[in-house]
Structure 1
Amino acid sequence: MDVILAPSSVGISELKVNPNAVIEAAEGMPVAVLNRNKPVAYLLPAAAWEAICDRLEDIELKEVAEQRLADGKAAVEVRLDDL
């Protein structure tokens, strides 16, 4: 049995018939798209996708910062006003 990671789901056939109705019924929450009762995709509101992308970018930048701190070079102090 596949885990569905969304509060609601919709069959792919139903989604094809009226995607706007599915989006409106979701009320801003993710929707699992099912094909033969198995999740094949997730439909997310644009704001949720943008937040996920921002979070992933923050994680990547944190990793870069940690690598740079671990390289043994002395840190350089910078004031935001100087930038």
Structure 2
Amino acid sequence: MEQVLATRSVSITELKRSPSAVLEQAGAEPVAVLNHNRPAAYLLSPEVYQSMLHRLNADLRTAIQEGIDSGPAIAAADVFAELNTRYAEPKRPAAKTNKRVA
């Protein structure tokens, strides 16, 4: 069974029946929407969603800056050329055909 990552959960049926009530009861807390007792989606308040996006963007900027600070980059073409050299399949000789001339 998948882990439910919210303190409150509702069924899809309950959400369909009374979406406003579910949102009102949730407040600022995330709500897991369950389908056959498995998480199908999560409802988040606009504030929580915006906060998550800001955090993800900040983490992404930090990771990019750390990559830049770690030293010179390698061109993608050089990386792919090296991978092709190391892992390319050997070329197979052309198959011989036994054609008879009449």
The SS at the match of 1:3 is: coil
Q: CA deviation at 1:16?
A: 1.1
TM-score by structure 1 length? 0.80
Give the match for residue 48 of structure 1: 48
Name the count of aligned residue pairs.
72
Alpha-carbon distance in 1 for matches of 2:41, 2:57: 22
In the alignment, is the contact (CA less than 8 A) between 2:11 and 2:34 conserved in 1? yes
Q: CA RMSD in A?
A: 1.1
**Aligned partners of 1:52 and 1:67: how far apart in 2?**
22
Q: Which amino acid in the other structure matches residue 35 of structure 2?
A: N
Q: Spell out structure 1 runs of 4+ moving beyond 6 A.
A: none
> Which structure's relative contact order is higher, taking Cα pairs within 8 Å and 6+ residues apart?
1
Largest Rg, 1 or 2: 2
Superimposed CA distance per residue, residues 22-76 of structure 1 (whole angstroms, 9 cap, x where no aligned partner): 010112101000011111111111100111110100011001111111225xxxx
User: TM-score scaled by structure 2?
Assistant: 0.66
* Paired residue type of 1:20: S
Q: Which residues of structure 2 form unaligned runs of 5+?
A: 73-102
Q: Distance in 1 between matches of 2:64 and 2:5?
A: 30
What secondary structure sits across from 2:10 in the alignment? strand
SS for the counterpart of 1:51 is helix
Structure 2 residue identity aligned to 1:67 = G
Which residue identity does 1:50 align to in structure 2? Q
Unaligned stretches of 5+ in structure 1? Answer: 73-83
**Match in the other structure for 1:68:** 68
